[in-house]
Amino acid sequence: MNIPINEFEQHIDEDILKRGLQYFKKGHVTYVDELSAGEYEATVEGTETYTVHLQLKNGSVIANRCTCPYDWGPFCKHEVAVMFYLQQEELGLKVKKKSTPKSLPLTDTPKTEKKTVKKKKTIQEQVEEILDKLSADELKTYIGEFCKKDKAFRDLFLAQNLHLVQPVSQEMYARQIQAIVRSVAGRHGYIDYAGARQLGNAVNQLFQLAEKAITAGNWREAMFMGCAILEEMTKAIEQGDDSNGDLGDCIGNAQEILFHIAQECPDSAVCRELFEYAIDVYRRQLFEGWDWHHEMLELAVELQETEDQKKQIIQLIDQIKPKNDGWNYRYEENQKLRLKLIRKTEGETQAIEYLEANITNSDFRRELILKAIKEKNYTKAISLAEKGIAADQRDKPGLADEWQWHLMNIYQMQGEKEKMIEKARYLFLHVGRFSSIEMYDILKKNVPAGEWPTFFEQLIAERIKSERWVSFHQIADIYSWEEQWENILNLLNKYPTLDNIAHVEKQLATRYAPQLIDLYFREIQLFLKNNISRSHYQTACKYLRRMKKLGGQDKTEKLIAFLRSTYPQRRALMEELNRV
C-alpha cells in the first residue's frame, strides 16, 4: 500500500470515501496522536469504538490498520475519516464541533491576531523524555506492577525477554505464544477478528526478535523461534478468524525464518537439527492439510548434505503415488523436489534424464521445450509440443493450448509464416488465456496486405460463431484496431447494455454522439425498470452524467423528469437524481 496522502480520494472506493467523509464531518474522529514521526493512532466512534493506525512516509500512506471487522477493500471508512482529519486544512473541511460546556468561558481572539502554535511532541518523543527522567529502580517497580495488573502486557513482556533468564528452547517460546493465545481467546477458545489482530501483532514482535538473532549470529535461537511460531500459529489458525490474514502472515514469517537459516546458516550442527525437525514433522504429518506440510520436505532438500539425508528424503518422496483420476498435484510437486535433489547431488545430465523420463509432468515438458528453444533445437521442441498436445487435448485442454502457443513461437523463430499464421489464428479464435491483441498483431503483420480485408472479415465471423455468447468488449476492441467505427456501432445496436455503451463511448463519441445518447436514454429506463436498490440508482446516475457529458443535456433532463414522475416512491432514487 502506497498512496499519496494529498490525493488519497482518487484511490479509494467512492462509497467508502463518502462514508469516511461523513464520519469526519460528524466529529466521530475523537482522538488522534502521532506516536512517532509519520505514525498516527486515532480513535473513531462507530457502532463501537475503533482504533486506527496510519503510517506515512514521504507524504504517502504506506501502512494502515483498523480494529473494525471490515475486509472488503484496502481501506475502511474509519481509516478514511482519519485521512480526512489529517488533510482537513488542505481540503478546507470543517468538522461538527462538540458543544462547549457552559462552565467554561469562551475567549474571543481577534481575526487579525495570529497564534503561534507549537508543534505537539509525538507519543514516542514524550515516552523517551519520560524514560530519561525515570531512574532504573522506578522503571523496575513500574514494569513489575504493570505485569501484575495486565496479563496481556505480562505475556508479551515474558515472550520478548524470558530468554534472558532461561536457556532458550523451542518449548520456551511455544509456552509464551500459548500464553498470548490464551489471553486473546474467548471463553470457548475461539479467537475473533480483533483477537487475531492482537495475536498477530504480538507474534510479529517475536519474528522481529528472530531476525535480530539471525543478524547477531544466534542461528539456533532463531530456529527455535521459527519452529515455535510455525507450530503454535498452525494450531491458532484452526481456532480463529483469519479473514485479515494476521495469523497466516505469522506462519509465512516463520517459514521465512527457517528457509533463511537453511540457505545462509554456516553452523552445520544447527542445519542438522533443522533437517531432523523438518523430516520429523513431515513424518508425523503435523501440518497435514496445509501448504507448509509439503514445504517441510522442501526445507529438508535445502538442508540436505549427506547421502543418508538424501535417502531419507527420497523415501518420503516415494510414499506419494500417482492417482488414476488425472489429478496428481501432490505427486507432481514431489517429482519437482526429486528433480531439485538430483540437480543438487548428481548434476545436470542426470536431471535431464529424470525430466525426460517423467515428461507427463507439465512443468518438466515446459522446461524441456524452453531448453530446446534456447539451444535452437527446434525439431526437438516441436516434437515435445506436438506430443504434449496429443497427450493433453482431452483431459487438460488448457495445457494443450499452451503447447500450441509454443509451436507458434517456434514457427515464428523458424520463419515458417504459414504455420505461424495457422497457430496464431487458432489461438485468436479459441484460446482466451493469450492476449487477443498479441495474436491480432502477429496475424496483421504476416498475412499479405491484399488478403487482409477478406481474412479479417472471416476471422471476426468465425470468432462470433465460435462463442456461446458474444464477447462484446473483445469484438469491439478488434473493430477499433481496424478503425471500423460503423461496425462497432452496429455491434452495439445488437448488444446495447449500459456497460457496452460505456466501453465504446470514447471511440464513438466524436462520430456518433446522438446515437449513444439515444442508447443511454433507452437502456437507463430498462435498467431502472428491472433494478431497485441505492447502488443500482447510483449506477444509473453515473450513466446519466455520461449521457449529459456527450451533449445530451436536454434528453438527460427529459429522462430525469420521466423518472421522477414514474418512480416518485423511490426516495433513494430521488436523492441520487438530485446529485446528477
Per residue in 307-341, pLDDT (tens digit) is 999 999 999 999 988 877 666 788 999 999 999 99
**Grid-cell match 521465512, residue found:** 256
From 298, 311, 294, select the one nearest 345 (Cα to Cα).
311
CA distance 537 to 521: 15
Kindly state the cell numbers that stand for 292.
507448509
Residue-averaged pLDDT of the chain: 88
What is d(CA 362, CA 141) in angstroms, rounded to the nearest whole number? Answer: 65
Helix residue ranges per DSSP H, 265-415: 268-283, 291-303, 307-317, 329-345, 348-357, 362-374, 378-392, 397-414
Q: Return d(Cα 422, Cα 391) in angstroms, integer.
A: 21
**What was the pLDDT predicted at 147?**
85
Beta-carbon contacts of 252 under 8 Å, excluding residues fewer than 6 positions away, are none
Q: What pLDDT is attached to residue 537?
A: 92
Helix (H, G, I), strand (E, B) or coil at 59: coil
- Helices marked H in 100-192: 123-133, 136-149, 151-161, 170-184
**Residue ranges in 87-135 assigned as alpha helix (H):** 88-91, 123-133
Q: Which residues of the chain have pLDDT under 50?
A: 99-115, 117
What cell does 528 get? 431502472
Question: What whole-number distance in Å separates Cα of residue 551 and Cα of residue 517?
Answer: 8
pTM of the model: 0.66
Alpha carbon distance 424, 433 (integer Å): 13
Question: In 3-state terms, what secondary structure has residue 254?
Answer: helix
C-alpha torsion sign, points 248, 251, 253, 255: negative
What burial letters (b/e) apply to 173-208, b meaning 16+ CB within 10 Å? bbebbebbbebbbeeeeebebbbbbbbbebbeebbe
pLDDT of residue 110: 44
Q: What pLDDT shows up at residue 153?
A: 77
Please give the C-alpha separations between residue 403 and each of 22, 92, 361, 400, in angstroms, as whole numbers: 55, 59, 13, 5
CB 193 within 8 A of CB 243: yes
Q: Position of cell 480520494? A: 9
- 313-317: long-range contacts (C-beta < 8 A, 24 or more apart)? 313/279, 313/337, 313/341, 314/338, 314/341, 316/279, 316/282, 316/283, 317/341
Distance CA 340, CA 336 (A): 6
At position 450, the amino acid (one-letter code) is G
